[in-house]
Structure 1
Amino acid sequence: MHSFYPLSAPARWQESRPASYPNPDSSRPLIRWPSWCEGEPGANETCKKLLTTVRSRWCMRTCRWMGPTLASASLGWRSAANAETSRETGCRAVPPGRTMPEKALNEVAPHCREQFEKGMAAVKRQNFDYAIEILGGLLQLEPALYPAREALRVTQYKRIKEGRGFLSKMLGKASVSPMLARAQMLARRKPHEALVAAEQVLNADPNNFSAHRVLAEAAMEADLPRTALLSLEIVFKQNSGDRKTALLLADACAAAGQIGRAEKIYADVLKANPNDPDLQQALKNLSARRTMSEGGYDKFANGESSFRDALRDKEGARVLEQEGRVMRTEDTTREAVARLTAQLETDPGNVQTLRSLAESHAQLKEFRKALDCLKRIKESDAGADPTLDKRIVETTLQEMDQQIAELDADAVDFEDRQARLLNERQAVELEAARDLADRYPTDLQLRFELGQLLFKAGRISDAIAAFQKSQNNPHRRVASLGYLGQCFSRRGLHDVAVRTLEKAIGEKSSFDDEKKELIFQLGLALEAMGRKADAIEQFKQIYEVDIGFRDVAARVDAFYEDQLQ
């Protein structure tokens, strides 16, 4: 699917106007062809093709007004055909990602807004089949209309939840498979057609993760990152341990401007794959992109300012180069500290300068100065930020780690002092996590992190309470259930642990390390109940795919040795 815009037209086309042409705000197709198309090579056929499918933009070469998008599914044009059409019509085909940024309702034609209102009215009447038909048709005309995409997704789930809709009964797995295969085939070549096919699958089965993944890939290809995020959130909720899904979600977040979240996802994946150079480079690129965006240096890229504005002189270029480096030398970091300190004298309330100065002090291991900068931000209007609170805690812990590392290992009381500082560190970290979770009760990620710390500290009852809340976070549900199973086992409630772990395993589709750990813990719980035969079946599942995981090899080998005796 391509959009077009006019390049140039002969003067006679400018002077003459067809007797009948499509109104920009009309949804009715043209039925009378312009007389001045006669005699132009290929003009008649091209004019008919275009005017029967478009609604609101004018093409100078054939009929001037053309719609915002062409329904390539009905035209069946390929790239070569698009190029030919471009030569015939004098219109330039523009890649979808360039011309179809996601739109709000006020950015589309009035008849599209009317269709959207009709769809929402049908949802209110609980006429979900009709609502899906209207919203789906609207998205074929305006694939970038995000409110319609979001409303369609909600409606699909409502219809399934209410047990309504004959389509979901008629379209089983066998009947949606061809549509899914078509979407997969078109995702790269014709992403907008792939979006239509994927939505048809989701109309029948909104929980079809394969369709969501294909839709997300097609949306990213069409430069519709929010559309991709809508589906990736659903997939990631059920399969947070899958690397491919996580990386695709991170890319979508970055494309949608959510750089901080993208960095966090990449960092989480990097923890599981610390030696992956591609992940390391991607994380560095994201960090550099965030720095460029926050500093305003990216504005000249989209024409909002000139390169001269961003780099006033050679000294400015040197400063920008220093700030863009992820790993800076001590000398350049100290230069940055001096420059940022000077900036604060003229603009003491600049939050971004304070953040940069805090990071520079932290790189120099001057944690007390870094904390002073962060606390100044906390006292400002920008202080109500959980990420800032977490950064303060992280810097405090870094300072304590430095104190532990600087202890004299040859001192007589080394072990006592080290144990005391470690206990203090654990207490500070736990108290800070509890404070954050209490101050931001709706942030279930903070509740999950608190549960982890409580579990590590052996405070099992408190950990159970934390994980029972954090399981409502779709991104941490499976992990929370896994921890709950281990907590119940430690309390001796092995039967409860088994049920909880089985529930967590049932929500995992891929056999990744997270699922292996869940199965391993289930085996331990069954073993503690005396169900050794059932336990060994769990260990054998892991043994079949990963003999090196934990001590499953020793457990399985010991079981068979006992069988031989």
Structure 2
Amino acid sequence: MSETKEIREITEAELPAALKDHWKNAKASVERNNHGYAIKFLQAILKEEPGFLNARKLVRQAEIIQSGAIPGAAKKGLFGTSGGGGSSFIRQAKKDSIGALVAIEKELEKDPFNCGINEAFYEIALNMNLLDTAAFALETAKTGNPANTKVAHKLAQFYVNREMHLDASRVYREIVKQDPGDGEAVRGEKDCSAKASMQQNRMSESSSFQDLVKTDEAAELEKASRTALTKEQLEERAGELAAQYEADPNNLAVVKQLAQTYEQLEDWNTCHSFYSWAFELSNGDVALRAKANEIKDKAADQHIKDLEASAAADPNNQELQSQLQEIQQSRVGERLEECQERVKQNPTDPKMRFDLGQALYDA
């Protein structure tokens, strides 16, 4: 990549056109369990765009599967610690930070949970002001080395410094699980939990009266739109829009209208697919991303409700009962991961933080 190019963290929507095929191929390779190919594509992307965190996360996922790395069973270095050699990358970064990140990725391909290398990765990313990337490096080190509370303390302090008290509280809580006698972690968890609660209250209170009025108006408009057309009329409308969509799948206005129509029909899966596509076409419209997330949750909840109804109607069907229980349990974990990711994408949104708090409680 060009030495004069600004290095910053970017979203998928900001990925240069020249790298979009690599990204598409990488995701397809992961879906086909061809992790070796995915890693090659993703490393090529990161060499050009070191701030593309989604690629960084996906390559680490592929490396963990490819290498067979297991959290808590990280490889041991000469002195019994998990990994080492990070200092050489820090020295390299003083002359060539991007080159150091490329070299780090090659090493993590073999040992993704290596604590020393991930700590070096954190330091380099921090110096480059790639803050979410720096956090990801320490999160990876912590996941692979849960007994290493020194790394976890460093991560918690990083979150405290960024006033991300909810994340700091989570990390401190995990430290206490590993070492109940860690007084600093016990105090940190209580302090950060209190600050996170106050932070959430302040953000909620900062919502202006106009925002509340707009919310009420939007609710009234939505209610009116739902009662304005019958189901048959909505289905006819969807058919008309589908014809326009086939003629031009990249017409954002048509895609949004299709999403809204299927929302009124309460066809959540189809609705979600169109809101997701609308978000892609919009070059990162935050409101569309939030709507897509909302509909995704409704689709998942509806699936569980349908299964609950089927299970209630057939109580002796053990296979169905087991399937329901398994999906209910997995949904709790999925919901927590989704909420954590959404808060990372938009840390100042009070609703997303509330949803995360609820998901943490449910978990």
TM-score w.r.t. structure 1 length?
0.29
Larger relative helix fraction: 2
TM-score w.r.t. structure 2 length?
0.43
Give the number of the structure whose alpha-carbon radius of gyration is greater: 1
Question: Higher RCO, 1 or 2 (CA under 8 Å, sep at least 6)?
Answer: 2
